[in-house]
Structures are given as structure tokens and as C-alpha cells.
Chain A
Amino acid sequence: MSKIKISMLILVLVLIVSASLFVLPKVINPFQMDTVERNILFSIRFPRVVVAFFMGMALGVSGAVLQGILRNPLADPYILGISSGASLSAVAGILSGIYFFGKFTIPLAAFIGASLVSVLVGFFGWKKGRLWPERLLLAGVGLSFLFHAILMLLMSVSADERLGRIMFWIYGDLSTADWSLIPIASVFIISGISISLSRAKALNALILGDELAHSLGFSVRKERLLLFVSISLMTAASVSLGGIIGFIGLLVPHVMRFLIGADNRFLVPASALGGGTLLCMADLIGKSILSPMEIPAGIVTAIIGSPYFLYLLGRRDVLRA
């Protein structure tokens, strides 16, 4: 049963990827390409799809893992303030106009910002030798508000020419994706996913509660820390690739849980697949629907995501009191 669902999902992914590469916004026939088309296919479309897939995977898995660690189905990687921290950092980079590392500057700034916030949240969430879900959550939300406020402050006093660019980055813009960032980002993302997958049993146990997880033979402190680190890596890498894209971390695990169950040994890879597919689809829609104007993928996910999220709230089997 689940195998059929997963196969269908893979089929959908293949369709979306094919459409992104060969069909939209303009058809490119791979067997009859001229140099310009070849250039577009390999230098623009291909890296874009790869970036979208990696980001989607990272966000999907981070969402699934975080919902497990925090024992909260409403958790999203950005609830921990990682997105605000990354945005603040990236925006500060954009505004300062410092461009030491060329095109790596903004992604690097975003990565550093995301990582710093993770450390901060971890620091506040740490007490008596381990991470506490409630503390993590509160620290994350609190820091999120703080950074967001600082970000708004920066934006309100900044010169307007760069403002537009900032808005687009904040909403998740994949339009300038190229190959250069992919190697290093993918290392972080694959590592994060591997760590999460290897600790999937521990994650299942953590969901039952700290004491039961301990009884089942897991070091709660070690597992939670390890999983938290993997989330931070993945999310920071994702943010540095293409900005903030919401809802994927929140919704994909929900949908996958509904389709194949809550066992993280299957949920984690399924969320990777689902997240990658969803983001590829969102980016495809964003670049095609008002072509040649591009809608950032983050806006598309928000438009699709919010109503679906509200619909989820109405379902009995999702958030039963």
C-alpha cells in the first residue's frame, strides 16, 4: 500500500522535474538544442531544479525531526528562529554592500546567521545538562520575534533600492541558482538527512517521552542534541541556498504521516522526497505562471500552504485534542 503511494510520489517528482527542465516556461527539446538552449538547460534550469530539490529535502526532513523532538505537530524549522536569524544576517549583508566573497557572500552570511541562532536557541534551551523541548520552543519563538523586529527596523531605514531585493530573498528566490553553491550545501544537507535517518528509532522513542526513551535504551541528551545539530545544518544550508521558504517543514511531514504513518524510519525519507517534490513544484509554478516575471517559490508555498494548513486544522485525525 505504502509502496504504491511512494511510487506515485516519485512519478509526480519525475513529471515535475521534466517539466521544469524541458517544458516551462519555454519548451526545450533535448534532442534538438541550439547552444543558447543548451546553455539555459544546463546553466539555469538544471541547477535550479537541483537546488529546489535539495532545499525541499532539507526542509521536509527538518520538519519531521523537529516535530518529533519538540513533540509538537506544529513545529516548523523556522519556529526556532533560524529563519529570522538567517534573514537578518543576509539582509545585513545585502545592506552593508560588503562583497568580500563575491557571490558567496549572501549565502555565507545566511548560513552563519542561521547557525548562530541555532547555537543561541540551543544555549537557551539547555538546562541541567540537556535540551528541553519546551525551552527550545520558547527560546526559538522569542528569538524569532526579536530578530524579525530588528529586521523590520533595518528595512524601514534602509535605502529603497536594495529593499526590493531583500524582499525577494526573504520570500525564497531561486532564480539565480547556479552550480557553485550546490556541492557544499548538499554535503550539509545529505549529512543532516543521514544523521536523522540513523537516529530514526531514537526519534520515535523521544516522541513517547524522555523517560520511556531512556527506558528503551537511548541517551535522551545525546540523541536530542544530535538531532538538533542535524536540523540546524540542514536548515542553515537550505537558507543559504535560496532564502526562506515556509510551510514545507510544517506540512510535508503531516501529509507524509497521513500517507505512510508516523514511524520515522519511513517518515524521514518520505519527508525528504515529499519536500523536494513540493518545492520543485512551487518553483515551477513560480517561474511559469506570470512568465517572464518570476514569483519567488516561498510565496507560492505560502499561497498553497496556508489554505491547506487551515484545512488540516479541520480534520479530526490530525490535531485531535
Chain B
Amino acid sequence: MSSEHKYTILHFDDVGFFYEKNKEFIHELSFTVSDREFIGLLGANGSGKSTILKLASGILNPSNGSIRLWGKPLQSFRYKDRAKLLSYLPQLLDMNVPFRVRELVAMGIYPYDIIPEMTLSEALNMVGLDGKSDLYIKNLSGGERRRAFIAMTLLQGAGLLLLDEPLANLDIKYQIEVIKLLKELKEKKNISIIMALHDINMALQFEKVMLIKDGKVLGMGNPEIVLSRDLLKEAFDVAIEARSFQTAYEIRNTGS
């Protein structure tokens, strides 16, 4: 299933972070992300998923430990260089931006001085917004808006995508399409993705899952193993079981 991983892209080494003094939020977090990985970051609200992504993107600085991007400390990168290597998409997207879809998506090339490979129409195509490039962002539906931002992130062409709940507000059709798209990108363009989500069933789609609770990693690895009943109970405080809905999807598709 997983192909050979050649490089270490991101490395968290014993990272700690606190929002307030003496109240450690993230504890001794260590993990590695190699190339061509598609990792789901799963946990309850407030478990630390967003914080981990923000630490990985450099928006927040760790209080202890180190974060390395391609072997170099994250903070040592120039902003523009870092932006060519990783991109971050927050959970809350402002709907009041005055731009049109194409203007927004085109902002993905800002870190670059030369136009990158992917074109604007390609990016729009990938998220299914090709007909809507002239519309204003504020006139789109919640899901369309999110897809536009995803297109911008795609255009940015970074090797590591950090996405915070990108499937929120999306119809199931688009949720699955986005997952399929991301998987394609991973294969074809060697991109790695860390995606925060809290839909447990969707997490089964991932090859690797990190289960988080209170800023600590409960388990990391194959979802079939990590998403065991015990760990899920610990993470979400309720007795549940994960079930893949790949089956459900196939049933719908066979037209019955």
C-alpha cells in the first residue's frame, strides 16, 4: 500500500507548547512525516489538532523541543522559502473577502517569482470550480468557498499540505472527491498531507492516522490498529467503533 519513503520532510522532536504559563497544552510530541504520506490527525475538539498544525506551519512557536523542516529548524527558513515548502489551510475561512474566485486562487503563486507548473484553470478544475472563476467568494456556498481555498493551496504547490478540517461544510460527494484528489496528488506529485478531522469513519481512508487527546499522541499508525475500541474510547470519551463507509459509497454507486 505505501510506497517507499525516501525523505523526512517534517520532524517534531519532543515538542511542547503552552498557551498559558505552566499549563502545557502539547506534551513531548514527537513524530515524523516523510514524503508521500497522507496522515489523518484525529481527535476531539480541543484535543490539540489545530495547535499541532499551527506549530508545524510555523504560526506558533514551540515552547520546548524542536521542529525541523527538511532537516533544518523551521524558524530558520525565510518566510517565502518556507511557503514554497509547506502550506496551511485554517479551519475558519473568512467569507467576507472581496475577491473573485480566480483572484483568490491566483494568490497561491505569491511565494514564487516565477509562475509554477500548475495553472489557475487546472487548480480550479481539480476542485470542480471551473465554471465559477468569475464569481465573488462571498457569493459562494460554504462548501464552494472551501474548495476555492483548497484550490489556492493546490496552486501554491507546496510539498507538505497542512489542512485543518478541510472537509467541514462539504457535501459527502465533495468530501470524497477531495480525499481522492489529495491521494492523487500524493502519488503523482510526491506531496505529503497532514489533515485534521474528527469524522472517525473518514479517518479509515487514511494510510496513517494520529490519534490525539489533550495534546498527547494516543496512537500513530495504521487506522485499523490505532482506531481500536479502547483508544477511541479514551480519545472521545464514548464507546464507539469505526467502520469504513467505502462499502456505503460503493452501494450507492451501483445504482440501487
Chain B nearest Cβ from A182, distance in angstroms = 34
In the complex, residue of chain B having the shortest beta-carbon distance to the beta carbon of A204: B107
Does A194 interact with chain B (Cβ within 8 Å)? no
- Tell me the chain B residues, 50-107 only, with Cβ under 8 Å from chain A: 54, 57-59, 79-84, 86-90, 92-94, 96-100, 103-104, 107
Q: Is the CB of A217 within 8 A of B80?
A: yes
CA distance A217 to B84 in the complex (A): 8
A209-B90 CB under 8 A given contacts A216-B83, A320-B138? yes
CB of B100 to closest CB in A, whole Å:
7
**Contact between B98 and A212, CB atoms less than 8 A apart:** no
**B193 smallest CB distance to A (angstroms):** 14
CB distance from B157 to the nearest CB of A (A): 12
**B111 x A217 contact (CB < 8 A):** yes
Query: Is B110 located at the chain interface by the 8 A CB criterion?
Result: yes
Does A134 count as interface, using CB distance less than 8 angstroms?
no
Interface positions, chain B 135-177, Cβ under 8 Å from A, are 136, 138-139, 149, 153, 156
Q: How large is the interface on B (under 10, 10 to 19, 20 to 34, 35 or more residues)?
A: 35 or more
Whether A207 is near chain B, meaning CB under 8 Å from some CB there, is yes
Interface range, A side: 20 to 34
**Shortest Cβ distance from B126 into chain A, in angstroms?**
19
Q: Is the CB of A262 within 8 A of B103?
A: yes
Are A261 and B100 touching (Cβ within 8 A)? yes
Give me 23 A-to-B residue pairs in the complex whose CB atoms sit less than 8 angstroms apart, sorted by A's number.
Answer: A73-B98, A205-B107, A208-B97, A209-B94, A211-B59, A211-B88, A211-B90, A212-B149, A215-B83, A215-B87, A215-B88, A215-B153, A215-B156, A216-B83, A216-B111, A217-B84, A217-B110, A218-B79, A261-B100, A261-B103, A262-B103, A263-B99, A320-B139
Give chain A's interface residues, CB within 8 Å of chain B.
71, 73, 201, 204-205, 207-209, 211-212, 214-219, 257, 261-263, 317, 320
Identify 19 new A-B residue pairs, CB closer than 8 A, beyond the known A211-B90, A215-B88, A215-B153: A201-B107, A205-B110, A207-B97, A207-B98, A208-B97, A209-B90, A209-B93, A212-B90, A214-B88, A215-B86, A215-B87, A216-B83, A217-B80, A217-B81, A261-B99, A261-B100, A262-B97, A262-B103, A263-B99
B: residues with CB less than 8 A from A are: 54, 57-59, 79-84, 86-90, 92-94, 96-100, 103-104, 107-108, 110-111, 136, 138-139, 149, 153, 156
